[in-house]
Amino acid sequence: MAVFSLFRIIHIIAGFLALIIFWIPMVTKKGGKIHNRVGWIYVYSMSIVAASAFYMGVYRVFFDTNADNERISFSWFLIFISILSGASAWYGIRVLRFKTRKQPHRSIPDLLVSTLLVVSGLGIGIYGFTIGSPLITYFPLLGLFLGGIQLTYWIRRPVKKMHWYFEHFGGMIACCISTVTAFTVFGAPKLLNIQSSNLLLWLLPTAILVPVLIGFKIYYEKKFDINKNRQG
């Protein structure tokens, strides 16, 4: 349990750091010094959050003999959140590395990460349905949706001007969704001494940040005068 407690402390510290700074790269000049530096801090923080969350979730499910059904179910949700945040951050960074590609992308690690997001979303969603948990049933559908988008982007030849720009932004927004959702589900109820039992409250970060993503996409498509039939 000492190792578990250490991971929990690290998870909380990294999570709060990510929660505080995630908006800075969104509002600062894209590609600028502040955007890049704070963006990398956010990515490193979320990598720690994802790894520690995955460890704690797996420990509770498979090795904690004192864990009750409620803890186990939320541990499965924690595992999914860790996969969602990790896969989204990975995708957001990798699209930048391969922004000059002209052909379909066949890198096994990238395809596996996106596939894992789809499979975990499907599997944990089914698990949530079997135990009658609306949160664990419906929220993982986001993994199916985002993982499908990622796989589609990788296996197709890019045709849109600055395609990597929009995919990077989408990956980081998805990572932000997992950050804020985890805080809403796990952190806020403890800090505010409230019961986090409302499905609408759990889905609020997605409901807010998805329109933000759509708005930014529309704004930058107009700004860059995107021609969908040409690659730039």
Of 101, 230, 87, the residue nearest 171 (C-alpha): 87
Residues 6+ apart with CB under 8 A from 204: 184
Would you state the pLDDT for residue 232? 44
- How many residues in the chain? 232
Q: What is the pLDDT of residue 231?
A: 46
pLDDT above 70 as % of the chain: 89
Judged against a pLDDT cut of 80, whether residue 124 lies above it is answered with yes
pLDDT, one tens digit per residue, over 5-29 is: 999 999 989 988 998 998 899 888 8
Residue 229 lies in a domain: no
- C-alpha to C-alpha distance for 67 and 53, rounded to whole angstroms: 16
Pull the structure tokens for residue 35.
């955007």
What domain count does the chain have? 1
When pLDDT is cut at 50, 70 and 90, the band that residue 162 belongs to is confident
By percentage, how much of the chain surpasses pLDDT 90? Answer: 53
Res. 188 pLDDT band, cuts 50 70 90? low
Would you say the C-alpha torsion 93, 98, 100, 102 has a positive or negative sign? negative
Lowest mean pLDDT among 18-32, 123-137, 184-198: 184-198
Asked if the structure places residue 231 within a domain, the reply is no
Residue 229: pLDDT over 50: no
Cβ atoms 219, 149 nearer than 8 A: no
User: How much is the pLDDT for 50?
Assistant: 94
> What mean pLDDT comes out for the span 31-35?
91
User: How does residue 135 score in pLDDT terms, banded at 50, 70 and 90?
Assistant: confident
Q: How many Å apart are CA 171 and CA 20, to the nearest integer? A: 18
180-197 as b/e: b if 16+ CB within 10 A: bbbbbbbbeeeeeeeeee
pLDDT mean over 160-170:
88
State the pLDDT confidence band at 105, using cuts at 50, 70 and 90. very high
Question: Which of residues 17 and 210 earns the better pLDDT score?
Answer: 17
Q: Is 85 a residue whose pLDDT tops 70?
A: yes
Task: Flag whether 230 is in a domain.
Answer: no
Measured in degrees and rounded to the nearest 5, phi and psi for residue 119 equal -65, -45
**198-232: buried (b, 16+ CB within 10 Å) or exposed (e) per residue?**
eeebbbebbeebeeebeebbeeebeeeebeeeeee
Amino acid at position 64, single letter: D
Residue 72 has pLDDT above 50, yes or no: yes
Domain interval for residue 76: 2-224
Average pLDDT for 179-200: 64
Q: What is the mean pLDDT of residues 196-218?
A: 72
Q: What is the mean pLDDT of residues 99-119?
A: 96
Sign of CA dihedral 131, 132, 138, 141: positive
